[in-house]
Amino acid sequence: MDGRVDVTKDTRIDLGARALVSTDNPGSPNIEAGLAKLPIYTTYGGSAGLGQRFNRFDVLVKGDVERTIYQNSTLTDGTTASNADRQYNQYGGTLRGSYEWLPGVKPFVEVGADTRVHDLNADLFGYQRDSKGVTGLVGSTFELTRQLTGEIGVGYVRRNYEDPRLEQLKGLIGEASLVWTKDALTTVKLNGKSSVGESTVPGVSGVLYRDIGVQLDHSFQRWLIGSLKLGFGFDDYVGMERQDKRYSAGVGLTYKLNRSAQIKGEFRQNWLRSNITGNDYNASVFLLGLRFQE
């Protein structure tokens, strides 16, 4: 959920809130053996920023707070195991400067820093996983035509861990959000994102996730929209030789009850292929949701 308050013609306040409920992938090395079911984790947080426009130059300063909590693991022998060592808070800040070079074209430079603080000083294997990260991104937002709009950027991430046994996590990253409106009935969306995840594997600093996806939406009627989705993800475990490739394909339908409410259904097929034997898997996902908008 995102919002903006225009204080004056040139000053604004950007606000955001988010929540994610999920599990680790079934083949993830972060989950222990003997699980009766995958433990659910919840990530929630919010952000607040102050933006100021100076003619064509725009500056945004934003702060962000996030917390991740895990359920206890239920094992096949009926016992439970705590995941408190995986729980952490993240505090971050971002500085972004952009310049309206041409109408609809606004290059930007963005620098962000964050700190992750775990509930426990050390994990189950004695590793201190508190860390500090820095991210830099260079790119541009654009509206080349009314049909093609979006934002694209490339950058670099570096993360240092409190435990000296954990090597520095670093690498190239990319972000993209492009929308092509072919006509009044058909829209194509491209999304790309990079992020750094935590790990419980001894000697593994973390996981560098890179994801890209494309979605085609077509309106069969004003009240019925069909969707086709394709996705690819690459997971690099820093500190071990494991690399995973994730593929997904999905189809969906959106039925508009009225101007404010929609029913959404989706079927998605996921595949994971790892360079470590025994971790490949296929998964079928069914989703049903209700969306409200004003």
One-letter amino acid at 229 equals K
Residue with tokens 């659910």: 40
Overall average pLDDT of the 276-285 stretch: 89
pLDDT of residue 145: 81
Q: Which of 2.10.50.10, 2.60.110.10, 3.40.50.2000, 2.40.170.10 is the CATH number of 78-292?
A: 2.40.170.10
Segments making up each domain of the chain, as ranges: 78-292
| Alpha carbons 176 and 141: distance in angstroms, whole number | 10
Evaluate if residue 293 carries a pLDDT over 80.
no
Residue with tokens 């920023």: 49
Q: Rounded to whole angstroms, what are the CA distances from 56 to 100, 108, 150, 153, 286?
A: 5, 12, 19, 20, 46
Overall average pLDDT of the 51-56 stretch: 94
pTM: 0.85
Q: Rounded to whole angstroms, what are the CA distances from 139 to 153, 164, 189?
A: 4, 34, 18
**Which residues make beta-bridge pairs with 142?**
105, 150
Q: E strand or H helix at 287, and its extent? A: strand 281-292
Evaluate if residue 199 carries a pLDDT over 80.
yes
Residue 279: pLDDT band by 50, 70, 90 thresholds? confident
| Alpha carbons 266 and 268: distance in angstroms, whole number | 6
20 Cα distance to chain centroid: 10
pLDDT of residue 146: 81
* Cβ atoms of residues 83 and 123 within 8 Å: no
pLDDT of residue 147: 87
Evaluate if residue 25 carries a pLDDT over 90.
no
